[in-house]
Amino acid sequence: MSARVAVIGAGIGGLTSAALLAARGCDVTVLEKEAWVGGKARRVLVDGAEVDGGPTVFTYREVFDEVFAACGARLDDHVKVARAEVIARHAWDARGSLDLYDDPERSADAVGAFAGAEAARGLRAFMREAQRIFEVLEDPFLRGDKASTPLPMMWKIGPWKIADMLAMRPFDRMWDALGEHFRDPRLQQLFGRYATYCGSSPFAAPATLMLIAHLEARGVWLIEGGIHALARALATIAERQGARVRTNAGVAEVLTAGGRASGVRLASGEVIPADIVICNGDPSALATGRFGEGVRRAVPSIPPAKRSLSALVWYVHSRTQGFDLSHHNVFFSTDYPREFREIGEGRPPSEPTVYVCAIDRGAGDKAPPPSGRERLQIIVNAPANGDLRHYSPEERERCTHAMTATLKRCGLTLEDPLEHQLMTPEDWEGLFPATGGALYGRASHGWAASFQRQGPRTRLPGLYCAGGATHPAAGVPMAALSGQLAARVIAKDLASMKTFRQAAIPGGMSTPSATTGNMG
């Protein structure tokens, strides 16, 4: 292939598409409006220390092994990766904590010591169900083409496999399904939190999302330098395949000609012609006209009520006391239903569940640096109304106080005053316009939500989408899968167009194929 490809945004999905298409011979240019590659995966300077920003949990690493192999490279030659023994440490108060491990039996033993033998049996049953859901969905859905209804996926599974289809539990709420496995509400809360990995509420998400627990049980990996280092590695292999990666190059408009995408115009006025344009951003940016009126109708809009969660994110450099941190830590609120009710009402939670990534605690839960000051990324779920709600200095202080109060209740104390930077939904809206600060695209609420996510094809031939806000789901490996899918669909469409044009009557007019014009 020799098609010209312009990729808008250097997030994980866009970089994956760029690397794979460049490896196939396309002339690829990646255009990133910020000064860094990685999108949400970035580094933030706090008190002289670089704190990892954006996603922190790295699972399903075989997806990246495949991407690097397709480009003649090895993941381990570009980033330093270690498997975490402790998947995450969890606390509800200052009386103790519960670890989950990369060894499922060790996790069951820990749960048994924490909540009794019945809870250990419940965990084993839950993990079996999570594994089955994953195995049913991996090929037809997670790695499959985007479908607008469940029927194509069901056909791939096999209409004779009714038991497998029912095993996905799309019509059961996750919270209710967890109650079948765990009588202890703390465990229901722990595993319900997996719904937030794709920006959803466990009280509204389908039980299908239990598969995330299986992905973590297969292995959580720690990358030296964080997910931003992974993004830089993807940019490197893309460039080695001949792609150009340009930062500080914001796209102002997607250009069209002859009923299809024809290139992009940068904010500087520079025009870059292209046969293929990939939008590696939230599809809402297209639907709201952020890239021009000519592509506004290329994708359906996402109503604000359907947005995923946003987040309050603190980047911190601080001494810690009291709680023995692992790399991944979760400190739970005392009233989970109230927390999500407040978010649903458009308010940051008054008593939030708090996630703490202790960046300097590596695979062996090593001690903090000799200085005693640690780099932390702290995350609290919040409503995606950053385009409507202003976070005043007073409200930002209230949010910070609520976060530290949860930590103190669970035994962790940070320095006061706290050296930090805080990102609110309003700030995320500034970085990712037209989202309200939603960090995961469309929320996975209800059985049909997964089929309503934007696929790689759009209504405009030549314009495609990739990234965590598109099919199959949010998260680092899912964004890479979306990039893989976009590259595969584009290669197929280009081959179809080439075949059609070669078969056209000499002197006649060739037009884009029906495949190219398919609505995503």
Amino acid 156: pLDDT: 55
Tell which residue, 199, 195, 193, has the closest CA to residue 207. Answer: 195
Amino acid 145: pLDDT: 80
Q: Given pLDDT bands bounded at 50, 70 and 90, which one contains residue 161?
A: low
Give the whole-angstrom CA distance, residue 433 versus residue 267. Answer: 15
At residue 19, the 3 state secondary structure works out as helix
Query: What six digits make up the tokens of 22?
Result: 């460049």
**pLDDT over 70 percentage in the chain:** 90
Give the whole-angstrom CA distance, residue 364 versus residue 508. Answer: 67
Determine the straight-line distance between the first and last CA of the chain, rounded to whole angstroms: 23
Give the whole-angstrom CA distance, residue 463 versus residue 454. Answer: 12
Provide the strand spans (E) within 39-162: 43-46, 49-52, 81-83, 86-93, 96-101
Query: What six digits make up the tokens of 195?
Result: 């719904």
Give the whole-angstrom CA distance, residue 473 versus residue 451. Answer: 10
Task: List, for residues 3-14, the tens digit of each pLDDT value.
Answer: 999 999 999 999
Is 80 exceeded by the pLDDT of residue 350? Answer: yes
Spatial contact of 6 and 278, defined as CB atoms under 8 Å apart? yes
Query: What six digits make up the tokens of 494?
Result: 């280009």
Is 90 exceeded by the pLDDT of residue 216? Answer: yes
User: In whole angstroms, how large is the CA radius of gyration of the chain?
Assistant: 23
Spatial contact of 437 and 425, defined as CB atoms under 8 Å apart? yes
Give the whole-angstrom CA distance, residue 399 versus residue 383. Answer: 13
Amino acid 219: pLDDT: 94
Task: List, for residues 35-83, the tens digit of each pLDDT value.
Answer: 999 999 999 999 999 999 999 999 999 999 999 999 999 999 999 999 9
The β-bridge relationship of strands 49-52 and 260-266 is unpaired
Beta-carbon contacts of 480 under 8 Å, excluding residues fewer than 6 positions away, are 12, 13, 16, 63, 64, 67
Domain 4-35+247-305+446-503, CATH number (from 1.10.287.40, 3.50.50.60, 1.10.3720.10, 2.170.8.10): 3.50.50.60
Angle of helix 185-192 relative to helix 104-115, nearest 10 degrees? Answer: 140
Query: What six digits make up the tokens of 274?
Result: 């292209």
Q: Is 517 left (phi over 0), alpha (psi -120 to 50) or beta?
A: alpha
At residue 103, the 3 state secondary structure works out as coil
Number of neighbours of residue 147 by Cβ within 10 angstroms: 18
Torsion of CA 47, 49, 55, 56, to 10 degrees: -120
Task: List, for residues 288-325, the tens digit of each pLDDT value.
Answer: 999 999 999 999 999 999 999 999 999 999 999 999 99
Average pLDDT (385-392) is 96
Tell which residue, 150, 453, 493, has the closest CA to residue 299. Answer: 453
**What are the structural domain ranges in the chain?**
4-35+247-305+446-503, 103-218, 306-431
Average pLDDT (489-501) is 81
Amino acid 499: pLDDT: 56
Average pLDDT (328-336) is 98
Is 80 exceeded by the pLDDT of residue 483? Answer: yes
Query: What six digits make up the tokens of 412?
Result: 């962790």
Amino acid 98: pLDDT: 98
> Is this prediction's pTM over 0.85?
yes
Is 90 exceeded by the pLDDT of residue 388? Answer: yes
Give the whole-angstrom CA distance, residue 473 versus residue 467. Answer: 9
Torsion of CA 205, 208, 209, 211, to 10 degrees: 170
